[in-house]
A and B are shown apart, each in its own frame.
Chain A
Amino acid sequence: MMKLIKCEFMKTRRRYVLATALVVTAAMLAWIYPRHQSSDLLRLGWMANLYELPLINSIFMPLLSIIVSSRLCDIEHKGGMLKQLAAAEKRGQIYDAKLLYGLAIMLFCVVLSWGATIAFGYIAGFEGDVPIRLYLLYLLFTAAPTIAVYIFQHTLSLCVKNQAVTFFAGAIGTFFGTFSMFLPQLPWLRRSLIWGYYSVLAFVGLFGWTKEDRYKFAHFDVMEIDWTFFIVLIFICAAIYVIGREIFKRKEL
């Protein structure tokens, strides 16, 4: 397995996959930071981040998954390399190595944006100490849906030659996942979509916000965390992995 992961690294030379992923992450951070300028938001900064970031993640992380998986898998389709690799190595291992390499890039970006968010809080002068336990929980609840979305995109990109199809499927999922956040009356919608789990696992609520006073009398509170859906997501991840790997193994090249 290690030699295959090493090969993945060699293959991405001049493809700038990590650089592209970092540019998307930087774009995400650039979108977040200018929002915290008012004194109210500086007061509520740490919790405001935890409230707002799941929405931003539900747009950017699936987008990043589409880009990374597509760039990693497209190189195999373009030169017809899958048939060459499949004639030399176990298909399951080819699937796993590429998945692990892509996931490493994704999780690096997740951790990087998480760290940058905390660093920004200090630089901007958010009041109080960083609630590290909540931020660690947020990291976990960002990483888990990202892993599920990435495994889905990875399977699609590896099994379908036309990367426009995988982009379209990912974009549709992202749209409905994000859209479902604005429909709290339809909780089943976000629970039935892997892209909706950024919202399902969000655990900070905004209270006391009004149109007139905005954040003046508002506060953020930690809501009850339902671990059932985290466990459901873990099962979804496992199911996508097992099914996706099997589809790739059975695919005729």
Chain B
Amino acid sequence: MDEIVKTTGLTKLYKGAAAVDGLDMAVREGRIYGFLGPNGAGKTTTLKMLLSLVRPTAGEIEIMGRRLSGKTRIELLRDIGSLIESPSYYGHLTGEENLKILQTVLGVPKENIDKVLRIVRLDRQQTKRVSAYSLGMKQRLGLASALLSFPRLLILDEPTNGLDPSGIHEMRELIKSLPREYGMTVIVSSHLLSEIDQMAEDVGIIANGKMMYQGALYDLHRLDKPKSLEEIFLGLTGKERSL
């Protein structure tokens, strides 16, 4: 299977300290890739580098078989949807107006707005100002923005942050359906191990900016058969019982 994202020696230094340290990441197309790591491990920085929001200090990024550079950046990013850290929105506008702005920027068909609003089940709330949305609704609007162009690659950073249990379940089921229904590849970062366990097919575990394990989740469980993902994760990241 082809790799849709491949990083080689990806490094980001902040004042000499490595936030991401020589990361080799490989994401297979059409899969859900769970990106796990404790707080401050370098997950968000890595995802931001994939989106050119942060400049790598060293290393290379290849997306859809092309090297990410100043020249290819916009062309590649048009095929990537993202939800980084927290959902982005204009609070004084309605959900629909927010998506209309992004639709204009991206140059995608207007019909996509209704489609994504239905997918994230915000179609009944589309005329309400986003400032009046609950956190869960804002999160769903963030996902709708990421889905708007029906991209080949979707990057979601902690998409279930702030959601209640039913919201988490709903978001998880939605993410799981994306590769099947729209042929998307999803990179999803989370600190919730159970969430990744139930959602991802491949997993990358990062600690102190370094990749500790990368491969199919199934293989990870097979390697350490009697252990739960939590135990494996704690063993790999050296955070025994400290989480």
Contact = CB atoms under 8 A, between A and B. Distances in A.
Interface centre among A3, A81, A85 (most CB of B within 10 A): A81
Contacts of B93: 10-11, 13-14
A10 B92 CA distance: 11
Contacts of A87: 51-53, 77, 80, 82, 84
B88 A79 contact: yes
B28 interface: no
Contact of B77 (A13, A79, A88): A88
Nearest to A85: B105
Contacts of A13: 92-93, 97
A7 B90 contact: no
B212 interface: no
A250 B77 CA distance: 17
B145 interface: yes
B101 A90 contact: no
Interface in A3-24: 3-4, 6-7, 10-11, 13-15
Interface residues of B, number: 31
B145 to A, nearest CB: 6
B53 A7 contact: no
B213 interface: no
Interface centre among A81, A87, A252 (most CB of B within 10 A): A87
Interface in B66-114: 74, 77-78, 80, 82, 84-93, 97, 100-102, 104-107
A81 B89 contact: yes
Given A11-B93, A75-B92, A88 B102 contact: yes
A80 interface: yes
B64 to A, nearest CB: 15
Interface string B44-76: 000010011111000000000000000000100
B52 A11 contact: no
Given A3-B104, A89-B74, A80 B90 contact: no
Nearest to A15: B92
A11 B85 CA distance: 22
B88 A84 contact: yes
A83 interface: yes
Contacts of A79: 88-91, 130
Contacts of B101: 7, 10-11
Interface residues of A, number: 25
Contact of A253 (B53, B97, B100, B105): B53
B34 to A, nearest CB: 21
B105 A4 contact: yes
B82 A6 contact: no
Contacts of A10: 93, 97, 100-101, 104
A164 interface: no
A78 interface: yes
B74 A90 contact: yes
Contact of B86 (A80, A86, A90): A80
B132 to A, nearest CB: 13
A85 B77 CA distance: 11
A90 B100 CA distance: 19
Given A87-B82, A89-B74, A90-B74, A252 B55 contact: yes
Interface string A14-40: 110000000000000000000000000
Given A3-B107, A89-B74, A83 B84 contact: yes
B61 to A, nearest CB: 14
20 contacts: A3-B107, A7-B104, A7-B105, A10-B101, A11-B93, A11-B101, A13-B92, A15-B92, A78-B90, A79-B90, A80-B85, A80-B87, A81-B88, A81-B89, A83-B48, A83-B84, A86-B52, A88-B106, A250-B55, A253-B48
Interface of A: 3-4, 6-7, 10-11, 13-15, 75, 78-81, 83-90, 250, 252-253
Interface of B: 48, 51-55, 74, 77-78, 80, 82, 84-93, 97, 100-102, 104-107, 130, 145
Given A10-B93, A11-B101, 7 more contacts: A3-B107, A10-B104, A11-B93, A80-B88, A81-B90, A88-B102, A88-B106
Pick the 5 closest A-B CB pairs, nearest first: A84-B88, A79-B89, A253-B53, A80-B88, A87-B51
